[in-house]
Amino acid sequence: MSSLPLIAHRHPDAVMAWRGGTPVRVRQFLGEVDHVAGQLPPGRHVLNLCGDRYHFAVALAASIVSGRISLLPSSQTPESLRQMQRFAPDVFCVTDRADSGVELPLFHFPESQPESPAEPVIPQIDSDQVIAQLFTSGSTGMPVPHPKRWGSLVRGVQAGAERLRVTREHALVGTVPPQHMYGLEFTVLMPLQIGAALHAGHPFYPADICVALKDLPRPRMLVTTPYHLRMLLAEQSALPAVDLLLSATAPLSQNLAVAAETCFAAPLFEIYGCTETGQLASRRTTAGAIWQTLPEVHLRREGEAVWAEGGHIEAATRLHDDIELMGAADLTTDFAYFLLHGRHADLVNIAGKRTSLAYLNHQLNAIPGVRDGVFLPPPEDAADAPENVRRLTALVVAPELTPAALMQALRERIDPLFLPRPLLFVAALPRNATGKLPRQATQNLLASQRAPNTDAIPS
Amino acid sequence: MPDTNQELQNEVAELVASALNLDISPDEIEPDAPLYGEGLGLDSIDILEVALVVSKRFGFQLRSDDADNTRIFSSLASLTQHIAANRTK
């Protein structure tokens, strides 16, 4: 049985996090992990909703050392949380908020801090231990679990850190929550596994991001998304120094990448990956559009599908993007190179958050009073940069429902980013004899609806 | 409400509607209805868009560690008040 340490810091007084302007040292972290692990309720499944990234890291580590599994659903709507309870009836929620609004057994992150141990011992974790289940929305209405083993996660983040040249000297600010794969890997596990420091905040506005960065010593790394990066650069004045930029969740335009590198005088990398596999490949966007896989990660085409395997990936995984492999798909080379041409037709990515139209349609049609309904992706517009956010449209047949009631029912079920804008009520959908919706007929209906309609969003 | 605040409120409503590409006219935004979630249905991405146009038009930046942050976006009227109190241009 092989095992890997919980954290890679070399000294008990090394800084592993920054809260406000205050450093948190390894001995304090290990003391708190022990303290929290000893107080957790008996359930074996944990929904870690801590907003403070340091609290999240402590609760995650406490769950790991006590053999618990963290559940990370793709959204936190009431319906998603009920699904987590169906998946694991013993699940409880760890929160550091007074009013979580969550209808699950709650464990409040303890305010009191234990004394830091004089000679802390870094726990060793079995490489085969499943420490988390990350969920994708699937296509049937039931979320699909993806078990994550400790060894695979650690190998993945170490390979990513090496590629991006992140060192133990770095301190990281993340604008993404730690409750999804990208945030978990790059804002929590990576700093823990290379012995770097994470910023406890989850800054929201550009001004918050600037303050969080200024809290940190250099070199600083910003882990963000195309969307947050665009907002940050739009506030050109008084940007603090950043030494390394990382973007993921959706492709970045060349223009924005060049602007970011010029503005910060720092390299910008993008990571490509998915919930199923975690990170897979990277590119220095200003150097070109071609992605290079992480060491020993290979891609192989089988008919229409591209599969990823090797490296930290435990089992060959089918990718859901339209990928063009470059050169010979030769397993004797260390890397594969490819171009990304967007998502498959059923998949949507709104402001970096992904789901499938099938899932959204399932949720829409499960609402009492909805006789028929369909979500439509935003129109393709090649001139529009990918970091600009466009929304979904829904056509729905629900004569007994008001727009407000239907929106409220949807809000219970799907992430706010996927709520339709506009939501259009129609008498019937143009289904053909086989029950399918021909694209052209749907587009015609949409065009006829859009022209005169000005009251699509209910007030 | 004084006329100047009513004018500002109209201006803010227009900014919100145009920044977010909402399919409604600015005067359809109810002054006291929530902007977030239920009500107008804005989400966190929208709030960032609004923050950006507010900073460009009124010369100050929104911060989320502002204790009043949830109150600021509780309605068009409260957002207008916050802008009136903090604007530098």
Exposed e or buried b per residue across A30-58, where buried means at least 16 C-beta atoms within 10 angstroms of its C-beta: bbbbbbbbeebeebebbbbbbbbbbbbbb
| Number of other residues whose CB lies within 10 A of the CB of residue A113 | 10
Rounded to the nearest 10 degrees, what angle do helices A206-215 and A226-234 cross at? 90
Asked if A416's CB is within 8 angstroms of B43's CB, the reply is yes
How many of the other CB atoms lie within 10 Å of CB of A260?
26
A403 lies within 8 A of chain B by CB: no
Looking at residue A455, its pLDDT comes to 46
What tokens were used for A234?
């739009």
In this prediction, residue B68 has a pLDDT band, given cuts at 50, 70 and 90, of: low
Within 8 A of B30 by CB-CB distance, chain A residues are 459
DSSP for A323-373, please give it.
EEEES---TTSS--EEEEEEE-TTEEEETTEEEEHHHHHHHHHTSTT--EE
CB-defined contacts A:B, below 8 A: 74
Say which of B21, B37, B65 has its CB closest to residue A411.
B37
Opening angle at CA A341, ends A339 and A345, nearest 5: 145
B70 at A interface, C-beta within 8 A: no
Distance CA A10, CA A4 (A): 14
**Phi/psi-derived region of residue A172, left when phi > 0, alpha when psi is between -120 and 50, beta in every other case:** beta
Cβ–Cβ below 8 Å for B64 and A203: yes
Residue A395, sorted as left (phi over 0), alpha (psi -120 to 50) or beta, turns out to be beta
DSSP state of A418: G
Q: Does A352 touch chain B (CB under 8 A)?
A: no
CA dihedral B73, B76, B81, B85 (to 10 degrees): 60
Token look-up 């790991």 returns A64
User: For position B67, what pLDDT does the model report?
Assistant: 52
Q: Side chain identity at A112, as an amino acid letter?
A: S
Q: Distance between the two ends of chain A, CA-based, in angstroms?
A: 59
B1 has a chain A CB within 8 A of its CB = no
Which residue from A minimizes the CA distance to B51?
A: A205
Q: How many CB atoms lie within 10 A of CB A183?
A: 23
For chain A, say whether B3 makes contact (Cβ under 8 Å).
Answer: no
Bridge partners for A147 per DSSP: A133
The dihedral formed by the CA atoms of A144, A150, A152 and A158, expressed in degrees to the nearest 10: 130
| Range of the structural domain that residue B82 is part of | 3-86
Give the closest-approach CA distance of A230 to chain B in angstroms: 10
Identify from A205, A208, A450 which residue to disrupt to test chain B contact, counting B C-beta atoms within 10 A and taking the largest count. A205
Q: How many CB atoms neighbour CB A207 within 10 A?
A: 21
> What integer pLDDT is reported at residue A265 of this predicted model?
94
Q: What residue type is B10 in one-letter code?
A: N
CA-CA distances (angstroms) from residue A204 to A209, A210, A388, B23, B59?
7, 10, 17, 26, 18
- With an 8 Å Cβ cutoff, is B16 touching chain A? no
Strand partners, A20: none
Give which of A269, A273, A351, A356 is closest to A312, Cα–Cα.
Answer: A273
**Measured between alpha carbons, how far is B81 from B70 in angstroms, rounded to an integer?**
13
**Is A207 within 8 Å of A235 (Cβ atoms)?**
yes
Q: Identify the CA nearest to B49 among candidates A206, A386, A420, A458.
A: A206
Give the strand order in the sheet containing A69-72: A106-108, A92-95, A45-48, A69-72, A130-136, A144-149
How far does the CA of residue B75 sit from the closest CA of chain A (Å)? Answer: 12
Helix crossing, B44-58 with B3-19: angle to 10°?
130
- What does R_g of chain A's alpha carbons equal in angstroms? 23
**pLDDT for the residue A457:** 45
Rounded to whole angstroms, the Cα distance separating A372 from B6 reads: 43
Can you give the pLDDT at residue A251? 85
**Could you tell me if A389 lies within 8 Å of chain B, comparing CB atoms?**
yes
pLDDT of residue A387: 79
What is the pLDDT, as a whole number, of residue A347? Answer: 85
- Look at B52 and A206 and tell me if their CB atoms are within 8 Å: yes
Q: How far does the CA of residue A459 sit from the closest CA of chain B (Å)?
A: 5
- Number of other CB atoms surrounding residue B37 within 10 Å: 14
CA of A239 to nearest chain B CA: how many angstroms apart? 13
Mutate to test the interface with B, among A199, A228, A233, A459 (most CBs of B within 10 A): A459
Domains of chain A, with CATH numbers?
Answer: 3-289 (3.40.50.12780), 347-450 (3.30.300.30)
- Residue B53 near chain A (CB below 8 Å): no
Average confidence score pLDDT of chain B: 84
Q: Is A53 left (phi over 0), alpha (psi -120 to 50) or beta?
A: alpha
Kindly tell me the sign of the dihedral angle through the C-alpha atoms of A452, A457, B2, B5.
negative
Pick among B16, B36, B45 to test the A interface (most A CBs inside 10 A): B45
List, as one string, the DSSP characters of B20-37.
TT-SS-GGGS-TTS-SBS
Q: How confident is the model at residue B17 (pLDDT cuts 50, 70, 90)?
A: confident
Q: Do B62 and A234 touch (CB under 8 A)?
A: no
CB-CB neighbors (< 8 A) of A208 in chain B: 63-65
Which of B63, B73, B76 best tests the A interface by mutation, with the highest count of A CBs <10 A? B63
* Residues in chain A within 8 Å Cβ distance of B55: 206, 235
Return the CATH number at B35.
1.10.1200.10
Strand partners, A417: none
Partners of residue A455 in chain B, C-beta under 8 Å: 23-24, 28
pLDDT tens digit sequence for B28-54:
888 998 887 777 778 888 888 898 899
Yes or no, beta carbons of B64 and A408 under 8 Å apart: no
Contact predicate A345/A378, CB 8 Å: no
Q: What is the block-wise mean pLDDT of chain A (459 residues), using blocks of 10 residues?
A: 94 96 96 97 97 97 98 92 96 90 92 91 98 90 93 97 97 96 98 98 92 96 94 84 95 92 96 95 95 93 91 93 78 76 81 88 93 88 74 94 92 91 92 82 86 46
Search chain B and give the residue with CA nearest A236. B56
Residue contact B38–A408, C-beta within 8 A: yes
For B63, the closest of A205, A417, A459 (CB atoms) is: A205
Give which of B24, B47, B79 to mutate to test A binding, by max A Cβ within 10 Å.
B24
Q: Please give the tally of structural domains in chain B.
A: 1
Please state the pTM of the whole predicted model: 0.89
Pairing of strands A171-174, A220-224: parallel
How far apart are the CA of B15 and the nearest CA of chain A, in angstroms? 17
